[in-house]
């Protein structure tokens, strides 16, 4: 292999230069490697902030809560209204399933085969009496709130997620404006 430092100097007895191109490049390479290792070590030691919660988590909780609320209201409602409330409960349960699937996909984890739901508490009021069952108006109010939340979230999302939230907002709006009796549509 040819070594440019071993070529005799044509000027004669002059000493070889203190810095050759090879020495500068080799030293620079070592310096860059040291900086890269130092940067990697610093990044590994730096405190990391936990990731922000996925905005769809709140929508998932709302879907589950709305489904449970509609189910409880259906149990206490007249048969004609109970059928509408049962459909709302089933639809919001499907929304929860779609949201679980999207959250799992985004996190890169398998979709759970069974979803866990929270059971509404029936803590007694003063005097030990259970609270009254929810009404169709309570369900309509919850659906209105869910529709508004989903519609606001659409503006911050793109692609599939925006479409999913737009669909959920439309379904909730339709449920409380068309699917439930007219007296439950009026806000409190």
Give the confidence band of 172 by pLDDT, cuts at 50, 70, 90.
very high
Give the confidence band of 119 by pLDDT, cuts at 50, 70, 90.
very low
Which residues have CB under 8 Å from 55's CB, separation 6+?
153, 156, 157
pLDDT tens across 75-104, in order? Answer: 999 998 999 999 999 999 999 999 999 999
pLDDT tens across 8-56, in order? Answer: 555 555 555 666 777 767 777 777 777 777 777 666 666 778 888 999 9
Tokens (6 digits) for 21? 């191109």
């Amino acid at each position: 292999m040819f070594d440019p430092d071993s070529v005799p100097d044509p000027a004669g007895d002059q000493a070889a230069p203190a810095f050759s191109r090879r020495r500068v490049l080799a030293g620079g390479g070592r310096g860059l490697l040291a900086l890269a290792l130092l940067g990697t070590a610093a990044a590994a030691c730096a405190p990391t902030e936990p990731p922000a919660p996925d905005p769809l988590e709140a929508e998932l909780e709302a879907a589950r809560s709305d489904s449970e609320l509609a189910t409880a209201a259906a149990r206490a409602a007249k048969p004609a209204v109970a059928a509408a409330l049962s459909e709302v409960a089933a639809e919001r349960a499907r929304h929860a399933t779609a949201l679980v699937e999207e959250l799992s996909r985004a996190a890169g984890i398998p979709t759970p085969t069974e979803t866990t739901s929270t059971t509404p508490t029936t803590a007694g009021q003063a005097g030990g009496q259970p609270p009254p069952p929810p009404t169709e108006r309570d369900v309509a109010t919850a659906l209105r709130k869910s529709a508004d939340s989903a519609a606001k979230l659409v503006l911050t999302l793109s692609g599939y997620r925006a479409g999913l939230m737009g669909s959920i907002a439309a379904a909730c709006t339709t449920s409380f404006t068309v699917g439930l009796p007219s007296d439950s549509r009026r806000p409190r």
